[in-house]
Amino acid sequence: MEHRKLGESDLEVSVIAFGAWAAGGWMWGGTERNQSVNAIRACYEQGVTSIDTAPIYGQGLSEEIVGEAIKDIPRDRVQILTKYGMRWDVKKGDFGFKSENNRGEPIDVYKYAGKESIIKECEDSLRRLGTDYIDLYQIHWPDITTPISESMEAVQRLIEQGKVRYAGVCNYDESQMAEAMTTINLVSNQVPYSMVNRGIEEVVIPFALANKKSIIAYSPLERGLLTGKIKPGHSFAAGDHRAGLKYYQAENIAAVNAFLQSIKPIADDKGVSLGQLVLRWTVDKPGITIALAGARNAEQAIQNAKAAEVKLAVDEMAFINARLDELQLV
């Protein structure tokens, strides 16, 4: 497994990291705890040492699953990436959206990153994860009701206490990153990036490169769409958020699958799946440090991990990029 450093830190993370959103079940139509635990352990055996989670994923369940999965692994052999700033248990900050928990009960989700909230969230995360420190602590979404400096000062305090090693952000634009950097040494920005969602190439990636910050790409498989396994008319489980996404409209699924078929000969020639090819393309793009890949079971986790072994030649990258330029979504 290939490892890369985040920013200018000494924190090395696996180029394919385990994304534990789906493991929490929330917005994914539920979860099977044992399968999720086994998925994390299976990918660790393949060299995936980095796991990204968040309290909001299953309202604590994802972090508990991660804690259970790594409890027998020496702590210094895994990197825990988690987040703060999305509360479902208090009505403070910037209202985000209405949702349901895994029991089908209504919850209101708020973006809130006040100082006292971050301190509490960190303690709760440490308990659920069964550890005494977090490798990378990231604000989940910008909170317009709290000064960025207040949030970053709280994380700096946690770093000084040894409860957090490094600070990162998620879903920040370049101006928000610049403001945060006046208070704390950021190492990374976690943002959505995939073959069909490349908006960060315009400003966010150039800013990160210029300031020697890492980009952690989430949803590189566009929540499963870029595996080629989703067909028009696909039936989603109740509570699966993908049913309402524009990428999952029938016309877009058909267009994406046609694109995937055009690059499938490259995958076939290498004896890999389309998903593995897509993940390798992602981490080979300039400015992308690592990609998060979720898995619902051990088989999927192993497949994702093996994407790190794929090698893409310059002409193969060029061919894929040319086909992408022809892809039109509605």
**3-state SS assignment for residue 237:** coil
Neighbours of 276 (CB within 10 A): 23
Tell me the HSE value of 46 on the side-chain side, using a 13 A CA sphere.
23
> 44, 57, 247, 248: which is the annotated catalytic residue?
57
Residues 163/165/171/174 CA torsion (nearest 10 deg): 130
Whether 57 sits among the annotated catalytic residues: the reply is: yes
Residue carrying the six token digits 């080629």: 228
Query: What is residue 220's DSSP assignment?
Result: T
Q: Which amino acid is at 258?
A: A
Residue ranges of alpha helices (H) inside the chain are 33-45, 61-70, 115-129, 148-160, 174-180, 204-210, 250-270, 274-284, 298-305, 314-326
So which residues are the catalytic ones? 57
